[in-house]
């Protein structure tokens, strides 16, 4: 059997090409740029056209008044005798007029007359003309009915003191104005096309191509962000696009390094999670032994047992905090109205139970409330208070822990101040980095990192305001 093949319907290819052209014109940056250039060029032509057409019309009218004056002077050559009909017709034809009158030396005289006017008559008094009226009359000329006549009252250029009153048919003006407009349109179109093409090419190579390069670089990087070959190479331009290329290259490098670090941390977290159970069992067994050593009657053995208890306790806490930090991201905060003063009281009580006491001063107003997650707010200030109490430990006298708060627009700023020894210089650079921002030998460096993460989840932040031998001040900002 012969297999029948369906042929495309007529017009299908043309419709597809039309749709593709429309998408290229309306949905792409170069197409929109070209469209805007064409539209703006057409608007510019329209703005320029009417003044030029008006100037052409005014010049034509002035030429008719001048021609009528020359015809009147020619009629004066005959002296006192009236010119013949043939001479009158010849003079009127030379001036493209139907009748010519003159007002001079206080006298108004009809110089040439070719017969009655057989159409509508419009008077144009050039002595009281203005620019706006000329533009409106020029626009009306294009739509004027055929067979209309113009009565021109104007001073000729060669005799400013005389006033010529001449009647001419409007048809020649319409023809010449149409021809001038057509020539002006094609000239303007040519200039617009050339100018638009130059502007388009310039903008395309200066802006569109670099933006396409940036877009393609971002798309390639998105597909394989860990591949160094996908990083954009800046072109070395000194303008804003060159700055954007450099910033994108740096961003891609930072993201790639962050992904690698995150992958290493994930591997570390998985490894720690696998050994966590066995490690805690081992530490628990060691803790039982250390407890018995700490209860020994021999002072040396008891002292060694107490040190071993503290060391094992730090090991257990390190494992628990590391696992807690290495879990998935914190859940989104469940905000509700929260008394800030009471929350700070609870966090301070828990911190002092774990780290020791200090003089506690709560300067937060009792009616100050925030929209926040109670558990996460408790964890933020528990970490800050514990760090403050640890910084004041061993001073020989009770430290002072002060907290105050104030409204800043829709946010609340809480400041936590202690009278400790301050944050060491070498710790400040990595203060909020996990496992790096601890000033204590047995610290994990996770407290401030966790506090900042929770504060940022509330739209705020944690920052170090000041530190020194007289104490340290941290500020917490919470939105809501």
Query: Tens of pLDDT along 213-264?
Result: 888 888 888 888 877 778 888 888 888 888 888 888 888 888 888 887 777 7
pLDDT of residue 357: 81
User: Are residues 420 and 360 part of one domain?
Assistant: yes
pTM (global) more than 0.95: no
pLDDT > 70? residue 287: no
User: Could you tell me which residue, 317 or 262, shows the higher pLDDT?
Assistant: 262
Identify the domain containing residue 182 by its residue range.
23-188
Q: Are residues 40 and 148 in the same domain?
A: yes
Domain assignment present for residue 197? The answer is no
State the pLDDT at residue 241.
80
- 473 shares its domain with 387: yes
Distances (CA, A) of 134 to 53, 137, 151, 168, 183: 10, 5, 15, 18, 21
Of 162, 188, 214, the residue at which a domain comes to its end is 188
Task: With a cut of 80, say whether residue 331 has pLDDT above it.
Answer: no
Higher pLDDT, 32 or 137: 137
Both 358 and 320 in one domain: the answer is: no
* One domain, residues 312 and 343: no
163 lies in the same domain as 255: no
Whether 193 maps to a domain, the answer reads: no
Domain end among 292, 326, 360:
326
pLDDT in tens, 412-447: 999 999 988 888 877 777 777 765 545 555 555 677
- Structural domain includes residue 232: no
Q: What is the mean pLDDT of the chain?
A: 79
Count of domains for the chain: 3
* pLDDT reading at 1 higher than 50: no
Residue that is last in its domain, among 269, 296, 326? 326
User: Helices 171-203 and 29-76 sit at what angle, rounded to 10 degrees?
Assistant: 150
Question: How many other β-carbons are positioned within 10 Å of the β-carbon of residue 429?
Answer: 9
Q: Which of 167, 153, 103, 83 minimizes the C-alpha distance to 124?
A: 153
Contact 60, 222 (CB under 8 A): no
Q: Are residues 314 and 340 in the same domain?
A: no
Same structural domain, 343 and 255: no
Residues 164 and 269 reside in one and the same domain: no
């Amino acid at each position: 059997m012969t297999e029948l093949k369906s042929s495309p319907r007529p017009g299908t290819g043309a419709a597809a090409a039309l749709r593709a052209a429309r998408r290229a014109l309306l949905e792409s940056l170069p197409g929109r740029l070209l469209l805007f250039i064409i539209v703006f060029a057409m608007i510019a032509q329209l703005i320029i056209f009417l003044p030029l057409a008006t100037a052409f019309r005014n010049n034509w009218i002035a030429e008719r008044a001048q021609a009528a004056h020359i015809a009147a002077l020619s009629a004066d050559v005959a002296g006192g005798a009236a010119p013949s009909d043939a001479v009158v017709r010849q003079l009127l034809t030379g001036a493209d007029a139907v009748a010519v009158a003159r007002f001079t030396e206080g006298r108004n005289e009809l110089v040439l007359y070719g017969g009655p006017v057989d159409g509508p008559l419009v008077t144009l008094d050039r002595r009281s003309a203005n620019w706006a009226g000329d533009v409106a009359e020029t626009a009306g000329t294009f739509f004027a009915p055929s067979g209309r006549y113009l009565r021109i009252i104007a001073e000729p250029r060669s005799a400013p003191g005389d006033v010529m009153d001449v009647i001419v048919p409007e048809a020649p003006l319409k023809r010449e104005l149409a021809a001038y407009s057509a020539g002006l349109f094609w000239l303007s179109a040519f200039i617009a096309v050339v100018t638009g093409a130059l502007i388009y090419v310039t903008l395309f190579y200066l802006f569109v191509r670099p933006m396409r390069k940036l877009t393609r670089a971002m798309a390639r990087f998105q597909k394989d962000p860990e591949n160094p070959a996908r990083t954009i190479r800046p072109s070395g331009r000194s303008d804003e696009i060159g700055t954007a290329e450099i910033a994108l290259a740096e961003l891609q490098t930072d993201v790639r390094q962050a992904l690698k670090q995150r992958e290493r941390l994930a591997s570390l977290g998985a490894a720690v999670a696998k050994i966590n159970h066995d490690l805690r069992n081992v530490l628990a067994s060691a803790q039982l032994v250390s407890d018995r050593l700490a209860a020994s009657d021999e002072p040396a053995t008891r002292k060694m047992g107490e040190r071993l208890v503290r060391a094992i306790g730090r090991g257990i806490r390190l494992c628990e905090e590391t696992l807690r930090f290495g879990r998935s991201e914190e859940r989104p905060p469940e905000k509700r109205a929260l008394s800030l003063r009471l929350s700070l009281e609870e966090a301070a009580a828990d911190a002092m139970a774990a780290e020791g006491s200090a003089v506690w001063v709560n300067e937060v107003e009792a009616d100050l409330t925030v929209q926040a997650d109670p558990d996460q707010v408790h964890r933020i200030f528990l970490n800050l208070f514990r760090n403050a109490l640890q910084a004041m430990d061993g001073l020989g006298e009770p430290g002072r822990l002060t907290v105050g708060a104030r409204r800043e627009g829709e946010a609340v700023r809480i400041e936590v101040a202690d009278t400790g020894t301050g944050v060491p210089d070498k710790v400040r650079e990595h203060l909020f980095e996990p496992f790096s921002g601890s000033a204590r030998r047995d610290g994990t460096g996770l407290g401030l990192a966790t506090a900042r993460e929770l504060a940022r989840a509330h739209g705020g932040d944690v920052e170090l305001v000041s530190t020194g031998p007289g104490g340290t001040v941290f500020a917490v900002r919470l939105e809501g």
